[in-house]
Structures are given as structure tokens and as C-alpha cells.
Amino acid sequence: MLDEATSNLDNEYEAIVQDSINTISKNITTFIISRRLSTIKRADIIYVISKGPDKTGYPASIITYK
């Protein structure tokens, strides 16, 4: 489980961490908590939890969710 794994990183280090997450996630189930879409855009499924109605879907459908 990763909670805001890239929240305090600049773009260069975020890319390094993201590559590691992508590699590890191929072999194991991974839970990632993030506010950045760039961190979770390659996920198989995304759960959005907010003050309004919760949303579940695939990355392409979540990108347009507001």
C-alpha cells in the first residue's frame, strides 16, 4: 500500500518512483492512495472517494470525472 508516494517529489524523481511502482505492480496487488492522476493513470481500476458520490471506474472514465 502506497499513500501519496510521489506527493513531495519533483517531476524527475516522480518518474523514477512511478517506474518502480509500475514494475512492482505487474506481479502483486498494489493499493495506491494519491491526489495526482499521473500516479494512478496506469491502474487497472480506480476508486474516487470524495465529499460527493464515490466513483469507480477505469482510468479513461475517471479522467473526465469531476
The Cα–Cα gap between 56 and 62 comes to 8
Beta bridge pairs of residue 32:
2
Residue 3: per-residue pLDDT? 65
The Cα–Cα gap between 54 and 48 comes to 6
Q: How many C-beta neighbours within 10 Å does residue 45 have?
A: 10
More confident of the two residues 33 and 66: 33
Q: pLDDT by residue (tens digit) across 4-59?
A: 666 777 888 888 888 888 888 888 888 888 777 777 777 888 887 777 666 777 66
Q: Which stretches does DSSP call E strand in 5-61? A: 32-33, 46-48, 55-57
Residue 60: per-residue pLDDT? 65
Residue 1 predicted with pLDDT over 80:
no
Domain limits, the chain = 2-63
